[in-house]
Amino acid sequence: MKTGMMHARAAARQARSRKESKKVPAIGTPQKIEHWELRLYVAGHTAKSLAAFANLRSICEEHLAGEYHIEVIDLLKNPQLAKTDQIVAVPTLVRRLPEPIRKIIGHLSDTEKVLVGLQLRPRGLEGK
Amino acid sequence: MSGVAGKKQKTKKSPGIELAKCPTGIAGLDEITKGGLPRGRPTLVCGGAGTGKTLLAMEFLVRGALEYDEPGVFISFEEAAEELAKNVESLGFDIERLSKQKKLAIDYVHVERAEILETGEYDLEGLFIRIGYAVASVGAKRVALDTIEALFAGLSNDFILRGELRRLFRWLKEKGLTAIITAERGTDTLTRQGLEEYVSDCVIVLDHRVVDQMATRRLRVVKYRGSSHGTNEYPFMIDEHGFSVLPVTGLSLEHLATSERVSSGILELDAMLGGKGYFRGSTILVSGTTGSGKTSVAAHFADAACRRGERCSFFAFEESENQILRNMSSIGLDLKQWVKKGLLQIKASRPTMLGLETHLVTMHKEIAGFKPRNVLIDPITDFEAAGTHGDAKAMLLRIVDFLKARQITAVFTSLTAEDSAPGSTDMGISSLIDTWLLLRNLEQGGERNRGLYILKSRGMAHSNQIREFVLTDNGAKLIDVAIGPDGILTGSARVAQQAKEAASDVVRQQAREAKRQSLAHKRTALQARLKALQAELDAETQTFEMEIKQEGLREQRAQAERLRLAEWRTAKAKSLKLAKGGAK
């Protein structure tokens, strides 16, 4: 878990420094100043979990550069967390901050849906 | 060596042998399933809302933990652990303590559709991990999933869900966990989501129906792969001790039958029943119209039973305990002393207060707890008020079977309508009854008196006569009725008839006396005549004998005369000869 977290942070930092100059403001993101705390629950290093992580990172990079923090939790290593965080399906992405808690399950391939799920985009614009 | 032993064990567990079973510990359910649920396999329990699915699942785990040393895991999809613990606390299950003792783990799986968004593929590995973790934490052998269908409400991808459920059940089997999976009943299918397709080893359906405003709970084992099982619908109830199923529709007819006899409590009735009373373990029905003394007959039996030092349970549905005690003391039966001594237990309740099943289970529990050798139910007809005719009959059948299996002598009373035929089978249960006493009101001469007769009594010689049943201050008495010109006479008519008979007896006696006297006179006269005749005869005989004597004497004399004459003649001739010779 720790390693995953570090990894995500480092990636974020990298991405930030790389993309700082040409950062485009995301559409409909008034909470930009807030800090985003995301947790990704996976079960082992499966193709699905890797895909989910890659998808998540790229979405965050694009829309939340510098303001997010991803924690990857491997339930095989920490099974007790499945109970405390009410995880049923994997992979599950939990938006812990900002409140309220939102959960997105699946390998996050549909970027639009993820953005809606994270409330980075109002539901009405989903189809756009 | 050990290898050989292992092989031997393996051959012993060949698949031909009955399936391994996991006892539920739930009263009655293990009897229906002949040992319990299939061990190491999932069992589906389905039923509508409020039928007791959660409770059945929870009791399975609690009993497993307490009685069979098999810890369990309860995965709840509907209620939080605290709620669940509180709900079953009223049934005597201390979930908190079991959790602390590591005998039970509860995990509340909460899936809220509103806060979940699905993007792309996923699986339920999270759930697997949670179950696996909970199972490992207590070393569980039993698992309950209540109600897994809630997942269908929380997640929209049916395709994935179904695949994952199939995998879940397979996974449970692989782990050798005996599982109960609860599911809501669907409109046409057993379960709303067709779970019976996935869990097909054992399916139990719970039902809670209302017929004639009476709610009854029923359980049915729809399917049990690889095992025989009772297929009927069995009533069950949920009370402060949990779940209990009643598998007592006479699974077998193998009651023992003793020839031991027990007194009915009424001396004359015993005499009518071959002099010894009822058979122990038999079922006696006392039927009659209102006020014919049914309860009194039953109470006499209770009194006699307690006098023998046996326990007796009295289930009253019309009178309260105090009422019974007071009323019976008026006919000289002191039942209170037996209550005080703990030999008699009176349970009074209104039949409509509970459903039939509840009555049945209450009785079962009462009898199992108190262990009486005798049971009274007064009256059985009231059960019809608590259910339909058919239900009431089925229930009685169950009671009779239950009591017979325990060799309990039972006296039922039954109310018959005033105008019904005397032998009409009140509840259609006559065939279940061993001894049937009928009490009748006999109206005659401006009076109403009670008559009792034995309609049948299996396996013993019994009187065919109608007796008058009289309740005195010292208990019930049976009196021989008087037979008058118009049939039997009871009450004052009987007394009158008896007086009349007594009077005519006197007259007859006098006549007899007179006859006897005249006979004596006659005899004296005849004897006198006899004497005279004898004297005459004696005289005759004397005369006759004298004559014979004289005749003899005469004969002798004549003989002598003849001899003398002959001699004389011979002498004369000699002298002549002598004279002739001298002349020559």
pLDDT digits (tens, 9 = 90+) for B256-289: 777 888 998 888 888 888 888 899 888 899 888 8
Domain match, B171 and B284 both:
no
Using pLDDT thresholds of 50, 70 and 90, give the confidence band for residue B8: very low
Q: Which helix or strand (DSSP H or E) is residue B42 part of?
A: strand B42-47
Count Cβ atoms within 10 A of the Cβ of residue B47 and give its class: 0-12 exposed, 13-18 middle, 19 or more buried. buried
CB-CB neighbours of B197 under 10 Å: 13
pLDDT(B384) > 80? no
Closest residue by Cα to residue A42 from A110, A109, A108, A89: A89
B117 touches chain A (CB under 8 A): yes
CB-CB neighbours of A23 under 10 Å: 13
Q: What is the mean pLDDT of chain B?
A: 83
- How many domains is chain B built from? 3
Domain match, B280 and B221 both:
no
Domain match, B511 and B457 both:
no
Q: Which residues of A touch B125 (CB under 8 A)?
A: 43, 75, 89-90
Q: Specify the pTM.
A: 0.63
Asked, for residue B77, whether it belongs to a domain, the answer is yes
Residue B27 DSSP label: B
Q: CA nearest A110 in B: which residue?
A: B119
Asked, for residue B558, whether it belongs to a domain, the answer is no
Full domain range(s) for residue B364: 261-480
Given B111, B117, B129, which is nearest A113 (Cβ)?
Answer: B117
Can you give the CATH number for the domain in which B152 is found?
3.40.50.300
Domain match, B407 and B441 both:
yes
CA B296 to chain centroid: 19
pLDDT(B178) > 90? yes
Cβ contacts of B441-445, under 8 Å, gap ≥ 24: B441/B288, B441/B289, B441/B291, B441/B292, B442/B468, B442/B488, B442/B490, B442/B491, B444/B489, B444/B490, B444/B491, B444/B493, B445/B491, B445/B492, B445/B493
pLDDT digits (tens, 9 = 90+) for A34-91: 688 888 998 888 888 888 888 888 888 888 877 888 889 898 888 888 888 888 888 8
Q: What is the mean pLDDT of chain A?
A: 73
| Chain position carrying tokens 């005080």 | B340
Q: What is the mean pLDDT of residues A87-97?
A: 87
Using pLDDT thresholds of 50, 70 and 90, give the confidence band for residue B76: very high
CB-CB neighbours of B467 under 10 Å: 23
pLDDT at B212: 61
pLDDT at A127: 43
Question: Angle, nearest 10°, between helix axes B356-370 and B389-405?
Answer: 10
pLDDT at B445: 74
A94 touches chain B (CB under 8 A): no
Taking only residues 133 to 152 of chain B, the set having a beta carbon closer than 8 angstroms to any beta carbon of chain A reads 133-134, 151
CA distance B379 to B362: 16
Asked, for residue B292, whether it belongs to a domain, the answer is yes
Asked, for residue B489, whether it belongs to a domain, the answer is no
Using pLDDT thresholds of 50, 70 and 90, give the confidence band for residue B43: very high
Using pLDDT thresholds of 50, 70 and 90, give the confidence band for residue B213: low
Asked, for residue B491, whether it belongs to a domain, the answer is no
CA B228 to chain centroid: 28
Encoded tokens for B461: 């010689």
pLDDT at A1: 42
CA distance A28 to A118: 12
Closest residue by Cα to residue B36 from B50, B52, B56: B56
CB-CB neighbours of B40 under 10 Å: 18
pLDDT digits (tens, 9 = 90+) for B218-228: 888 888 888 88
| Distance from the B43 Cα atom to the nearest Cα atom in chain A, whole angstroms | 22
Domain match, B39 and B175 both:
yes
B205 phi, psi to nearest 5 deg: -110, 130
Count Cβ atoms within 10 A of the Cβ of residue B113 and give its class: 0-12 exposed, 13-18 middle, 19 or more buried. exposed
Using pLDDT thresholds of 50, 70 and 90, give the confidence band for residue A17: very low
Q: What is the mean pLDDT of residues B54-60?
A: 91
Distances in Å between the Cα of A125 and the Cα atoms of A56, A63, A121, B203, B531 are 20, 16, 7, 48, 153
Cβ contacts of B37-41, under 8 Å, gap ≥ 24: B37/B178, B37/B180, B37/B202, B38/B178, B38/B201, B38/B202, B38/B224, B38/B225, B38/B226, B38/B227, B39/B176, B39/B178, B40/B173, B40/B176, B40/B177, B40/B178, B41/B173, B41/B178, B41/B179, B41/B201, B41/B202
Q: Name which residue leads in pLDDT, B395 or B15.
A: B395
Cβ contacts of A18-21, under 8 Å, gap ≥ 24: A19/A61, A19/A65, A20/A65
Asked, for residue B563, whether it belongs to a domain, the answer is no
Contact A103 B132 (CB under 8 A): no
Lowest mean pLDDT across B47-51, B151-155, B440-444:
B440-444
Domain match, B175 and B302 both:
no
pLDDT at B497: 81
Domain match, B241 and B265 both:
no
Q: Which of B117, B118, B128, B171 to mutate to test the interface with A (most CBs of A within 10 A)?
A: B117
Taking only residues 57 to 76 of chain A, the set having a beta carbon closer than 8 angstroms to any beta carbon of chain B reads 75-76
Task: Using a pLDDT cut of 90, give the percent of chain B over it.
Answer: 28
pLDDT at A125: 46
Asked, for residue B452, whether it belongs to a domain, the answer is yes
Go through the domains of chain A in sequence order and give each one's CATH number: 2-15+34-125 (3.40.30.10)
Domain match, B237 and B269 both:
no
CA distance B442 to B438: 12
Do B60 and B26 contact (CB within 8 A), yes or no? Answer: yes
pLDDT at B62: 92
Domain match, B470 and B506 both:
no
CA distance B21 to B36: 5
Q: CA nearest B137 in A: which residue?
A: A80
pLDDT digits (tens, 9 = 90+) for B401-447: 888 888 889 999 888 776 655 555 555 677 778 888 888 887 777 88
pLDDT digits (tens, 9 = 90+) for B526-567: 999 999 999 999 999 999 999 999 999 999 999 999 999 988
pLDDT(B10) > 50? no
Interface size, chain A vs chain B, as Cβ–Cβ contacts under 8 Å: 98
Q: What is the mean pLDDT of residues B176-194?
A: 86
End residue of a domain, out of B480, B513, B533: B480
The letter for the amino acid at A63 is: H
Task: Using a pLDDT cut of 70, give the percent of chain B over it.
Answer: 90
pLDDT digits (tens, 9 = 90+) for B489-529: 777 778 888 888 888 889 999 999 999 999 999 999 999 99
Strands in B445-553 per DSSP E = 447-457, 467-472, 475-480, 482-484, 487-489
| Distance from the A21 Cα atom to the nearest Cα atom in chain B, whole angstroms | 31
The letter for the amino acid at B384 is: E
pLDDT at B519: 93
Given B116, B117, B151, which is nearest A116 (Cβ)?
Answer: B117
Domain match, B386 and B341 both:
yes
Do B390 and B355 contact (CB within 8 A), yes or no? Answer: no
Q: Name which residue leads in pLDDT, B297 or B4.
A: B297
pLDDT digits (tens, 9 = 90+) for B321-334: 899 899 888 888 88
Domain match, B531 and B430 both:
no
End residue of a domain, out of B446, B480, B514: B480
ipTM of the complex in this document: 0.71
| Distance from the B151 Cα atom to the nearest Cα atom in chain A, whole angstroms | 9
CB-CB neighbours of A22 under 10 Å: 6
CA distance B65 to B122: 35
pLDDT at B420: 56
End residue of a domain, out of B438, B453, B480: B480
Using pLDDT thresholds of 50, 70 and 90, give the confidence band for residue A23: very low
Sign of CA dihedral B291, B294, B300, B302: negative
Q: Name which residue leads in pLDDT, B475 or A123.
A: B475
CA distance A48 to A45: 8
> Residues B388, B53, B241, B396: what is their CA dihedral angle, to the nearest 10 degrees?
20
Residues in contact with B306: Cβ distance below 8 Å, sequence separation at least 6, in sequence order: B312, B335, B338, B341, B343, B344
Do B195 and B44 contact (CB within 8 A), yes or no? Answer: yes
Contact A88 B133 (CB under 8 A): no
Sign of CA dihedral B14, B19, B24, B30: negative
Lowest mean pLDDT across A40-44, A85-89, B68-72, B384-388:
B384-388
DSSP bridge pairs for B286:
B413, B437
Using pLDDT thresholds of 50, 70 and 90, give the confidence band for residue B12: very low
Contact B115 A117 (CB under 8 A): no
CA distance B227 to B19: 7
pLDDT(A6) > 50? no
pLDDT at A21: 40
Encoded tokens for B130: 């949670």
Sign of CA dihedral B285, B291, B293, B295: positive
Domain match, B214 and B348 both:
no
pLDDT(B582) > 70? no
Closest residue by Cα to residue B120 from A87, A105, A45: A105
Asked, for residue B555, whether it belongs to a domain, the answer is no
Q: What is the mean pLDDT of residues B66-90?
A: 89
DSSP β-ladder status, B487-489 and B142-146: unpaired
